[in-house]
Amino acid sequence: MITNKTIFVSGAGGFIGGHLIKKLLENNNTIIGADIKPIELWFQTFDLVKNYDSLDLMDMSNCKKIFNAHKIDYVFNMACNMGGMGFIENNKAECMLSVLINTNLLIVCKDSNVKKYFFSSSACAYNKDLQQETNISGLKESDAYPANPEDGYGWEKLFSERMCRHFYEDFGLETRVARFHNIYGPLGTFGGGREKAPAALCRKVIEANISSSNEIKVWGDGEQTRTFLFIDDCIEGVLRLFNSNFREPINIGSDEQVSINQMIEIIEKISDSSKLKRNYLLEKPKGVRGRSSNNELAIKTLGWEYNIDLESGLKKTYEWIFSQITNNKENAKRFTKT
């Protein structure tokens, strides 16, 4: 475990960043967190963390401000402008601009003699030509090349991966890169336009049951497939990778591939509701037809594999979103802001 270190986490007010900080605090680490969101919209905050809110790390002067004020050992870069498929397909330029965050942080890490740097990449970096069928084999790390990633967001991730590689090769900065496959769980966005499929579908089922409408809207035909990883398993994978000697991009995901329709059925079972009518919105963004994670390299290299199956993780997520919608409407605003 990482102990007694001074650690900077960018994207500290976000979903994965908040869960990561919570784990790092368990081992007597000093945490500095930054996020572009105002503090009242951070998903989690902790008294022991030095927070920099409303701070745009695409501005190099803001990065220097933090690194001049603190002697930082490690950096976890969890910051980017992103959301679900609806957001990334309609905001390609905004997603691409996140490359400035990674570039700025790599530069200040080099100049400040930071010992190790983590970059959160995405399965969107994989070649789209390999993802045209609903049930595909798990994507191996080598399948990112020849390059043809998701337009905008995927290109930003793939380019930033290369930046990490070259900063190690040219300057000796130890870098670690994880390709996340659809991370989900409690304390994440479930409305407002940036939510991903697990949270969005939990919310839709809850709202349909509360309103007795017996109908939900589904983007696409519901046959597109993905794998989804619960947040606790994600954090465990991140820390194992960070503590390893492995420098190449590596999958952090599950191989439990399901269609969107199958996920809805799982959530209906969790909610103890009858089958809802599907209103398929075929004109909405759908992304690639199928995507799955091959975890052989993570198992071999890190000794890591996921422990929480999709139904168990969705149950935890559903129960948390239900509590926010029904019991904590004021607090829920931070999880439904665009």
Secondary structure (DSSP) of 156-183: HHHHHHHHHHHHHHHH--EEEEEEE--E
CA–CA distances in Å: residue 81 to residues 10, 74, 120, 151: 12, 22, 12, 14
| Nearest CA among 240, 250, 255 for reference residue 302 | 240
| Nearest CA among 242, 250, 238, 257 for reference residue 295 | 250
Helix, strand, or coil here: 280?
Answer: strand
CA–CA distances in Å: residue 205 to residues 49, 198, 333: 36, 11, 19
**For residues 214, 259, 336 and 159, what is the CA-based torsion angle, rounded to 10 degrees?**
-160
Q: Is the dihedral of CA 277, 278, 281, 284 positive or negative?
A: positive
| Nearest CA among 95, 79, 77 for reference residue 155 | 95
Establish whether 153 is a catalytic residue. Answer: yes
Cα 303 from Cα 241, distance rounded (Å) = 10
CA angle (234 as vertex; 5, 256 as ends), nearest 5 = 165
> Token pair of 183, please?
């991370």
> Which conformational region is residue 192 in: left (phi greater than 0), alpha (psi within -120 to 50 degrees), or beta?
left
Catalytic residue, from 52, 126, 153, 184: name it: 153
Characterize the bridge pairing of strands 174-180 and 277-281: unpaired
> Token pair of 303, please?
């000794």
> Token pair of 174, please?
């130890």
Cα 169 from Cα 82, distance rounded (Å) = 29
Active-site amino acid positions: 153
